[in-house]
């Protein structure tokens, strides 16, 4: 039998990110914890950055999923430690790549301060890429193009 806490985690963890629906809040690592306190499912959520416009939508999605699973809900916003792209799961990185978004490369993908990261094309894996724009379809992504296969793509910025 599955515990109530495991059911609550599963319900919250399945919520898709509203801006990048190929990944869930658990894949992104922004769902920090789901615990039960006196019958209330308490979900701790970290925004990807302080100005992320999707934070309220993410919290409402988690609340709705937990209520649909039969729980009373409290959402806690966790700001410390701040979220980092290092928290994206390996599965989440693969889902981003399969969706056509280059996942953040982490410390290995960083060069120097104020320098562009090494970004691999999600379609052909070439690192012969160039940044077209600092901002892609959302503020957390940049627009790149691959000079090997010629395809444009979003890069999920390393934070």
0.85 exceeded by pTM: yes
DSSP at 16: B
User: In which region does residue 152 sit, left (phi positive, over 0), alpha (psi from -120 to 50) or beta (all else)?
Assistant: beta
- The per-residue pLDDT for range 58-102, each reduced to its tens digit, is 999 999 999 999 999 999 999 999 999 999 999 999 999 999 999
Which pLDDT belongs to residue 20? 92
CATH 3.30.300.130-classified regions of the chain: 4-77
- The per-residue pLDDT for range 5-52, each reduced to its tens digit, is 999 999 999 999 999 999 999 999 999 999 999 999 999 999 988 788
Which pLDDT belongs to residue 159? 83
pLDDT of residue 114 exceeding 80: no
Distance between CA atoms of residues 57 and 113, nearest Å: 33
CB 96 within 8 A of CB 23: yes
CATH code of the domain occupying 4-77: 3.30.300.130
Distance between CA atoms of residues 89 and 42, nearest Å: 22
Distances (CA, A) of 32 to 12, 19, 28, 46, 51: 10, 19, 10, 7, 19
Distance of CA 129 to the CA centre of its chain: 23
Question: For 5, phi and psi rounded to 5 degrees?
Answer: -65, -40
pLDDT of residue 112 exceeding 60: no
Which pLDDT belongs to residue 107? 55
CB 102 within 8 A of CB 122: yes
Range 140-147 average pLDDT: 94
Which pLDDT belongs to residue 18? 94
């Amino acid at each position: 039998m599955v515990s109530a806490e495991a059911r609550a985690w599963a319900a919250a963890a399945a919520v898709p990110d509203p801006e990048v629906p190929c990944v869930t809040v658990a894949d992104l690592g922004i769902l920090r914890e789901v615990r039960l306190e006196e019958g209330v499912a308490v979900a701790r959520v970290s925004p990807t950055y302080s100005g992320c416009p999707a934070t309220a939508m993410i919290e409402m999605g988690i609340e709705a999923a937990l209520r649909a699973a039969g729980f009373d809900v409290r959402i806690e916003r966790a700001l410390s430690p701040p979220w980092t792209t290092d928290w994206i799961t390996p599965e989440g990185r693969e889902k981003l790549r399969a969706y056509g978004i280059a996942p953040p490369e982490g410390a290995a993908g960083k060069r120097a301060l104020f320098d562009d990261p090494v970004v691999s094309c999600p379609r052909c894996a070439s690192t012969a890429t160039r940044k077209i724009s600092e901002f892609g379809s959302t503020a957390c992504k940049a627009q790149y193009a691959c000079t090997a296969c010629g395809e444009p793509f979003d890069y999920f910025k390393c934070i």
